[in-house]
Structure 1
Amino acid sequence: MNAKVRKQLQQRKRKLRRRLSVEHGTWQSPMIRPATTKLEMAERQQAVACGGIAAIMQLIKAIGLRESINDAANVFKLHLPYDEADHVFNIALNLLAGGTCLDHIEHRRNDEAYLDAVGAVRIPDPTTAGDFCRRFTEQQLRMVMQAINDTRQRVWKQQEDSFFDVATIEADGTMVETYGEKKQGIGMNYKRQWGYHPLVITLAQTQEVLYLVNRSGNRPSHENSSFFFDLAIHQCRKAGFRKIVLRGDTDFSSTEHLDRWNDDGVKFILGFDANKALTEIAENLDEKVWKPLQRGSLPAPPEKARVKHDNAKEAFVIAKGYENQKLRAESYAEFDYQPHKCTRAYRMVVVRKEIDVTKGQQFLFSKEKYFFYITNETAGDVPAREVIGGANRRCNQENTISQLKACGALAAPLDNLTSNGAYMLFASLAWTLKLWSGMLIRVKGNEGQKRTRREARLRVIKMEFWTYMNSVMLIPAQVIRTARQRVFRLLTYKPGVDLLWTIHDHVSMPLRS
């Protein structure tokens, strides 16, 4: 940003901080006082609630996403008036503009300012968007995923060299419930929930969705996971990652593929089912090989710590006489183990949890529970404690999946398995664009600028979707059309404006080839 804009932002920031400060703020009661209001209609000015969409439109143009999608998704014989990318962007931008479902596209297409903001005369309505999703086959959806990943390669090329040290690929399934009774392909899981059970493959370092495949609700989590693991490995190898690690829970310990991945130089840390044979091995280990497991040091308490309140849940459980399980201690050990479908042995790290079972205030008994993790990481490179920590960090993927659900990407608004898979894929692009807007913030300049930009970059990547929406996207702006460009004149100041300006400046820079 230029010096004039930087000065304006600093002045607005000082003015807002002074207004909110206790020392300088105005004290009055009541504080919220409804005034006499009056409505007027602007003659020519147009304003949009989601001014942050300007940075997203610039991002889409900079990375060439339209061309990639149109080359992959050939479902139209004639582009009149929309092409395939128009439909995909229509679904994704609806979520970034504040919509939460397919029907909210109707609000976008009836908003003149929004149409001007995205540079459209008109956009498809919800029924047309649904019909577009129904045109796809599984093979065509896979081609669209590959096209998005080809664009992802361009974004990855803009990252620092340290970014390519390691790529941690994670897989998990999640339940997308639906109350529809006639949706083709729905199923019921073991919790008696009706819906779909998509497979989600993500990159742990950035929370990007590499692959998303819809399946019936009664399918196992690991179904087809090895195939998409292989595709993700190929993408990461193509990008130049120096180390690739696979992570997953016990459902994803595909023992028939471990030898192949190991020979290919791929590392893995996978949960393993606590079957009878493994449990017997763990129980028969010498007590000397078990080491106490400490989950990391606790943060230092603040100087003026608040008074800790009584645990109301614990008191309720005791008063009602419910059975309660309390973790008393944890320890870990390791041994070599060869699964039946493997031709060699691998490290098996086991965690033993010692649990006290009580009922009310009465102690009943103690029990031990075992958790197993299989890995081909050597003890010299990755100690057993780090293997456990890496396996536990896979739980962060649950946060990514929850964000996909929060933004409306993991939903089933259509009538069959494939069309709902298409909607999930297109809608998940909203989450991907949010991540890319942070990843394209370049960490360069003097030390102070590097520190500020690195903080801004991490802040955007780690930000929850609705925080991103309210901080960066939902900033009211006047939309001014000129012959060569769209001008978004921001109409208010809040802390997210600084971040939006940084994002827009950086995505406008030419990409490194």
Structure 2
Amino acid sequence: MQVTQWSKGLSVEVGGHGVVSHVGAALLRLLADRSGLTQALSVALSRRGFVPGRDRGRVLVDLAVMIADGGEAIADIEVLRHQSEVFGQVASPATCWRALDEISDVGLRRIARTRAKVRARVWGLIESVPSARAAGRDLGEGVVVLDVDSTIVLAHSDKDGAAATYKHTYGFHPILVTCDNTGELLTIKLRPGNAGANTAADHLTVLTEAVAQVPAAHRRHLLIRGDSAAATHAVLDWLTAQDAKRDRRVEYSIGWSIGEAERAAIRALPAAAWSPALAADGGIRDGAQVAELTGLLALAGWPPGMRVIVRRERPHPGAQLSLFEERDGWRYTAFVTNTTAGALQWLEARHRAHARVEDRIRCAKDTGLRRLPSREFAINTAWCQIAAMACDLIAWLQLLTLDGDLAKAEPKRLRYRLLHTAARLVRGQRRRRLRIPPTWPWANQITAAFTRIAVIPAPG
């Protein structure tokens, strides 16, 4: 059998009609409209005495849809623009550039308030906000988990704000906060590449903005997780002050650097102080143990009630160890928390679930953050906010309309199976119908998603 048998009689030519691609992108666009995001952005970005040729709310939503659909540059808006049979009139790349350039600091604040308002409506449409999980069980009903972290975005040309990073690369060093319950990207702050990883002011900015993004009814019990870059006096004092508010419970679980005092405390621990650590599925993790150092450390000046918990495990081959770790063959990590209830093993497993933020960052980079479009810092800042909206649209699509594997799929798989689907556009009886081939394995999921979005009440 010849390997080219499948292509016998196959040719490609121009002349087809009635066929459109990227049908799934219409799901995101329709969801933005039905959730009220498009209309709210139009109101937020309106300016007295200025009537743009293209509604700015529509332009930003179309950019977010384009990014969620896999676009990496503003010119990629042409994919939507040249399918006017489905999407109607879509702004040109030049108009998109102007729309981003018009967004000032005031505009960014208005966009943030708009996102928070629409998020509250979307969370109200969900039957129940998913519970965050760790070690095979829920963290608790009503607990909303916010993960803060920073990352490196490479720049391959000389852009405003690009600088050498601590990883010996060149680019930007944004800091962001994600919601572990829903997968949303709540806020992101674009920073120069040489911005410090442990800058307290930046952490406080994004945490304040992230808490404001959580609907008020769900702010009563928050868990803030971060790595050791967030373990500063200013951040921990702020978290403690938030926890002291009468109507709110704020727990934290923050990485902690191991210095000489911690090493001395570890050496002083008796063997009986160590307990087996938990694995991701809730079972016992072989070769890993946890213990508490709080009573062995001088923590004057740190918030009252702060606990220090340490974990040790046998290192994997190739792991880099300090001289202290090489001495006894264990690799040590630590974190601090203000949670008083729960076994050490559970608290440590809960903290280790913070690693999921790395997956969120990877997905965010696959949804617009890997490549910033402009030489100007302000336009790139606005682009980051649009990328955050794109991440939210994907998360809302999965929360409100999808089931099974697609409800948990990462953006790349979602695009390959759903967003980039082709269909035939049929007109008749003053209606347009998109007909997806019945042989497409995910055709029923797409049609069901359209139906579920269509029944969302129109925004008031």
TM-score by length of 2: 0.84
Note the C-alpha offset of 1:497.
Answer: 1.2
CA distance in 2, matches of 1:500, 1:479: 15
* Secondary structure of 1:374 counterpart: strand
* Secondary structure of 1:408 counterpart: helix
Which residue in the other structure is 1:415 paired with? 375
The answer to whether the Cα contact below 8 Å between 1:169 and 1:204 also exists between their aligned partners in 2 is: yes
1:324-372 deviations in Å (ceiling 9; x for gaps): xxx993221114367454341322111123459899xxxx964343211
The answer to whether the Cα contact below 8 Å between 1:68 and 1:147 also exists between their aligned partners in 2 is: yes
CA distance in 1, matches of 2:126, 2:95: 38
Is 1:70 aligned to 2:47, yes or no?
A: no
Is 1:151 aligned to 2:118, yes or no?
A: yes
Note the C-alpha offset of 1:106.
Answer: 3.5
Is 1:238 aligned to 2:216, yes or no?
A: yes
Which residue in the other structure is 1:459 paired with? 405
CA distance in 2, matches of 1:343, 1:391: 19
Task: Report 1:19-418 matches (<5 A).
Answer: 32-37=6-11, 39=13, 41-42=15-16, 45-74=17-46, 77-109=49-81, 111=82, 114-120=83-89, 122-125=90-93, 127-161=94-128, 163=130, 165-181=142-158, 183-223=159-199, 224-236=202-214, 238-253=216-231, 254-264=235-245, 265-295=249-279, 329-336=287-294, 339-355=299-315, 366-379=328-341, 382-418=342-378
Give the total of aligned pairs. Answer: 432
Amino acid at match of 2:91: I
Amino acid at match of 1:34: K
The answer to whether the Cα contact below 8 Å between 1:329 and 1:353 also exists between their aligned partners in 2 is: yes
Note the C-alpha offset of 1:105.
Answer: 2.3
Question: What residue ranges of structure 1 are gaps of 5+ in the alignment?
Answer: 1-26, 300-326, 442-455
Evaluate the alpha carbon distance shift between residue 179 and residue 505 of structure 1 in structure 2; reply closer, same or farther with a 3 A threshold: same
Fraction of identical pairs, as percent = 20
Evaluate the alpha carbon distance shift between residue 357 and residue 57 of structure 1 in structure 2; reply closer, same or farther with a 3 A threshold: closer
Note the C-alpha offset of 1:65.
Answer: 0.9
* Secondary structure of 2:6 counterpart: coil
Which residue in the other structure is 2:322 paired with? none
The answer to whether the Cα contact below 8 Å between 1:247 and 1:268 also exists between their aligned partners in 2 is: yes
Amino acid at match of 2:358: E
The answer to whether the Cα contact below 8 Å between 2:253 and 2:335 also exists between their aligned partners in 1 is: yes
1:221-267 deviations in Å (ceiling 9; x for gaps): 34322232233234435033552110111111223324213313201
Amino acid at match of 1:130: W
1:173-193 deviations in Å (ceiling 9; x for gaps): 111101112x11112111221
CA distance in 2, matches of 1:422, 1:278: 43
The answer to whether the Cα contact below 8 Å between 1:404 and 1:431 also exists between their aligned partners in 2 is: yes
Note the C-alpha offset of 1:98.
Answer: 4.5
1:412-456 deviations in Å (ceiling 9; x for gaps): 110122211111211332222121112113xxxxxxxxxxxxxx4
The answer to whether the Cα contact below 8 Å between 2:80 and 2:87 also exists between their aligned partners in 1 is: no
CA distance in 2, matches of 1:53, 1:106: 13
Amino acid at match of 1:37: S
Larger Rg: 1
* Secondary structure of 2:71 counterpart: coil
Question: What residue ranges of structure 2 are gaps of 5+ in the alignment?
Answer: 131-140, 320-325
Evaluate the alpha carbon distance shift between residue 486 and residue 197 of structure 1 in structure 2; reply closer, same or farther with a 3 A threshold: farther
Evaluate the alpha carbon distance shift between residue 494 and residue 389 of structure 1 in structure 2; reply closer, same or farther with a 3 A threshold: same
Q: Which moved more, 1:329-338 or 1:282-291?
A: 329-338
CA distance in 1, matches of 2:449, 2:145: 26
Evaluate the alpha carbon distance shift between residue 464 and residue 356 of structure 1 in structure 2; reply closer, same or farther with a 3 A threshold: closer
**Counterpart pick for 1:436 among 392, 396, 399:** 396
Note the C-alpha offset of 1:140.
Answer: 2.2
Evaluate the alpha carbon distance shift between residue 339 and residue 365 of structure 1 in structure 2; reply closer, same or farther with a 3 A threshold: closer
Amino acid at match of 2:148: A
The answer to whether the Cα contact below 8 Å between 1:96 and 1:430 also exists between their aligned partners in 2 is: yes
Is 1:488 aligned to 2:455, yes or no?
A: no
